[in-house]
Structure formats: C-alpha cells, structure tokens
Amino acid sequence: MADPGSGGALSALELYNRVSEQGDKVRALKTEKAPKDEIDAAVKLLLALKTDYKNAAGADYKPGAPPTSDTPDTSNGLPAASDGDDFVDPWTVQTGSAKGVDYDKLIVRFGSSKIDKDLIDRIERVTGSKAHHFLRRGIFFSHRDMHQILDAVEKKKPFYLYTGRGPSSEAMHVGHLIPFIFTKWLQEVFNVPLVVQMTDDEKYLWKDLTMEKAYQYTIENAKDIIACGFDINKTFIFSDLEYMGMSSGFYKNVVQVQKHVTFNQVKGIFGFTDSDCIGKISFPAIQAAPSFSSSFPEIFNGRKDIQCLIPCAIDQDPYFRMTRDVAPRISYLKPALLHSTFFPALQGAQTKMSASDPNSSIFLTDTAKQIKNKVNKHAFSGGKDTIEEHRKYGGNCEVDVCYMYLTFFLEDDEKLEKIKQDYTSGALLTGELKKILIETLQPMITAHQERRKQLTEDLVKQFMTPRKLAFDF
C-alpha cells in the first residue's frame, strides 16, 4: 500500500553499506581526535542510518551480517532522510556542508520531483503571472503532483492551499515567513481558498508548555501571518485546540487517518519510541487531516473532492508522504506539494534557524539597530580575511549568508546578479554586502511591524472563525 510516488527509498542492502561506511567514518574521526561537534554529528547520522536500516531490513544492524532478503518493507513507513552528510526529519535538519543540504539528493531520497524550467514556465502560462522569485531562484525546488493541480486549473476545477505553523514561541523570525510569503503569492495568482493550521496541540505535546500558552502563541503567530497580507475573504486560520471542537468534519478525518496508520509506520517515519506519549504517536493524523477538503465543511460545503496544494519546507514532507499513502485508502485525493529549501541561520547554512537562539536569526520584533548589529556581528561571510585578499580572489557567494538572505528578500533579479558578480570578483567587500542586506531587511521588517500593529483582536478573530469564504462550492 506504499505510495508509488514516494518511492526512491533505499533498499536494506544499500542502507547496510551506508551504515558500514558511516561507522568507519566515526571511528576515523575519533582516531584523529576531530572536534566534538563533528563527531557528534557523525554519530547522530550513524544512529539515523541504523534506524533506517532496521526499518528496511526488519532487524537490527549487525556488522558483518548483511541483510538476507533485499526487499525493503516500505509499508512500514519511509525512514527519515539521511543522505551522505545530511539528516532531515520534521525536528532535525543537519548537514556537514556550509552550502547547506544537498537538495538534489533529497529529491531522490524523498522520491519527489524537481521543480524544473518546464514546470515554472507552465505555472507562468496558467496563471498569466511572472513566477515568484522563490520559484525562479530554486527556493521552492521540489514538488509532488503540481502538474495535476495545473491540469485542474486548466479544466476550471477548484483547488485549495494548506500550510501551517507550529506556534512554539511568540517570536517568529524571517525564516518562518518564507512559506507564508510564497503561499500569499499562490493565493493571489490562482485565486483560491487557503487554510492555515496552527498546531498548538503539537507544541503542547512536544514542549514543556501549558495549553493556554500554546494557544496564546497561536494568536500571536496568527498576527504575524495575517501581517503578510492574506485576504480575509479567502483565508481561514485555525488553532487545532480550538477548531477540533468547532468542526463537524475535522475529527472524523483525523480518526479515518488514525485507523489506517500503524505504530510501526509512524515509528519508521518519525522515529517515535515506546516511551513517547500517545499524543505524539497519533499527532501525524492531525497534521494530515487538513489535506482533505471535508475537514472544512463550512468552506467547501461538505465537498470531499477539492484537491489540496501544500506549500511547506521539505522537512514537513514525511507528514504528507504518510498522508498521500493513506488518502486513496479512505477515498480521498492525495494532496499536491511544493517544497522549499531551509532558511539558513545567520551563522551558516549547516542548520535551520532556531527560535531559541536570538542571535541565530533576525526576528520579526527586532529593531533596525538590532538587525544591523546581528548582520554585522553574526552573519557568516564568504569573504576573504583581508581586504587585499578579497580584492584579489573575490568572495564566495555559495557560503555567504548575507548573499543567501538576499536571494530570499531582494526581489530585483538584475541587482542580485550584479551583487553576485561584484562579490565574486572582489569588487564588492563584505562590509558593503552586509550593508545591502541590512538596508533590505530594515524597511521590510519595519513595514511588517507596522502592518501587525494595525491588526485588531477582532480581525484576528474573524480570520479564525469557521465560515464560508468568497468561493462557491
């Protein structure tokens, strides 16, 4: 019953060889007394590979004893991705490379499809709009069934957008905006309804957080999402904790998904253990349910056949591989997906930004001065050590965080290209590049803060009220 579209999982034998190689690597690092964090990362990857192997082979890894049968049990769920030096699941993103995760490998690993020029051209044709720079620049780089969505649009069939946020703190950083900025563009060019799930139940289950606090974060985060400019007539934002008790459709879909996913599967996909609480174990069904239009009877008039398109960061894909596996078994359409790369931390592309480290990110609450200081002090540079060397050899845009940030936030393609050329040639110095980023971020954040300030509690409440939107179904 595994989703054929989610193929590409490694066989038990391939994983066996990976574990062996990674074991050798860990031993080598220990012998050469490598830095602790390097060893830790290698060990973590080794453990992840062993878990992958166990899921595929149905038995623990034993050195010198390769799997007897080379038929992976994909019905047991898809293991977390661990490709070369990269490890990606919904809670951990790790890579050894300053350039960040190898996304081409991830596409192969996850069995998704690359967003290529043909697809981008088709999106432009179908929408009559120039592709968003996140598409043009490969920030949204992977998809599942996007052509199906475009087929539907061409046939005048409706679809809807679904994205979400886990409200783990009041403070959101600029990286958190990426899916919302892109979703807003999709909503505009396709003119479709959007549902935004705030998984406050997830955060209550995972964190040392009261339920009241998790809901409060939902409201505060919803304000930042609304401040991205979503159309109130086309957008429904909901708290799981609240909406579960307000919808005649949501819980029914949750239970349907829960009936068709075993503990073995979520163990394989998400790495849950017997010591995890039963709330975590059943949560994936709650993130799955908004993929089905019948979860929102108020919006879709009870219709079960409106397809869903989910823009999200690639680390959320495991939830939706599971969803796509279950969908046909409960007579629902598989959701389509658009995957983004990760937003790099100021310190470099090795990890995602962290809301718990104030210096790893530019927060939406930062002042102009804080932005300036953080960029100047913490942004990892691809420049050379001295001005002389930089002028002579040029900087490296591939690892420079300021340049990376500009690919996200500087919309002007020509200007960005010129910056790249000048930095690479050495004509543009690191301090100058940082200044460009600071001057891009400051007005953007200030404008966001202004829009957020304008929001009334009443408007937030309206966004969060289950209701008919400006569409007839």
Site residues for a second copy per CB under 8 A: 201, 204-205, 211, 241-242, 244-252, 255-256, 258-264, 266-267, 272-279, 281-282, 284-285
Task: Name the region of 111 (left: φ>0; alpha: ψ -120 to 50; beta: rest).
Answer: left
Rounded CA separation 460/301 (Å)? 23
Across-strand partners of 83?
86
CB of 34 to a second copy, least distance (A): 36
Tokens representing residue 281 in the block: 């174990």
Rounded CA separation 47/468 (Å)? 48
CB of 3 to a second copy, least distance (A): 18
Where do runs of H (alpha helix) occur along 301-412? Answer: 317-326, 368-378, 387-393, 401-409
CB of 452 to a second copy, least distance (A): 27
Where do runs of H (alpha helix) occur along 143-193? Answer: 146-154, 174-190
Between the alpha carbon of residue 72 and those of residues 55, 270, 318, 337, the distances in Å are 8, 17, 18, 25
Angle at 461 (CA atoms; ends 457, 463), nearest 5 degrees: 120
Nearer of residues 256 and 424 to a second copy, judged by Cβ: 256
Nearer of residues 202 and 366 to a second copy, judged by Cβ: 202
Nearer of residues 179 and 268 to a second copy, judged by Cβ: 268
The label of the residue with tokens 């174990």 reads 281
Nearer of residues 404 and 464 to a second copy, judged by Cβ: 464
Angle at 277 (CA atoms; ends 272, 280), nearest 5 degrees: 60
CB of 269 to a second copy, least distance (A): 11
CB of 240 to a second copy, least distance (A): 8
Tokens representing residue 63 in the block: 């050195």
CB of 243 to a second copy, least distance (A): 9
The answer for residues whose C-beta is within 8 angstroms of residue 66's C-beta and 6 or more apart is 13, 16
Tokens representing residue 134 in the block: 């996140």
Per-position b or e across 116-143, b if 16+ CB within 10 A of its CB: eeebbebbeeebeeebbbbbeeebbbbb
CB of 199 to a second copy, least distance (A): 11
Rounded CA separation 162/147 (Å)? 17
Nearer of residues 58 and 138 to a second copy, judged by Cβ: 58
CB of 87 to a second copy, least distance (A): 24
CB of 248 to a second copy, least distance (A): 5
CB of 39 to a second copy, least distance (A): 31
Nearer of residues 276 and 305 to a second copy, judged by Cβ: 276
CB of 241 to a second copy, least distance (A): 6
What number of other Cβ atoms are within 10 A of residue 405's Cβ?
22
Nearer of residues 258 and 376 to a second copy, judged by Cβ: 258
Q: Parallel, antiparallel, or unpaired: how do β-strands 159-165 and 307-313 relate?
A: parallel
Nearer of residues 137 and 252 to a second copy, judged by Cβ: 252
Nearer of residues 146 and 261 to a second copy, judged by Cβ: 261
Tokens representing residue 401 in the block: 């965080």
The answer for residues whose C-beta is within 8 angstroms of residue 252's C-beta and 6 or more apart is 294
Nearer of residues 129 and 210 to a second copy, judged by Cβ: 210
- What torsion do the CA atoms of 170, 171, 177, 180 make, to the nearest 10 degrees? 0
User: What backbone torsions phi and psi does residue 152 show, to the nearest 5 degrees?
Assistant: -60, -45
Nearer of residues 122 and 252 to a second copy, judged by Cβ: 252
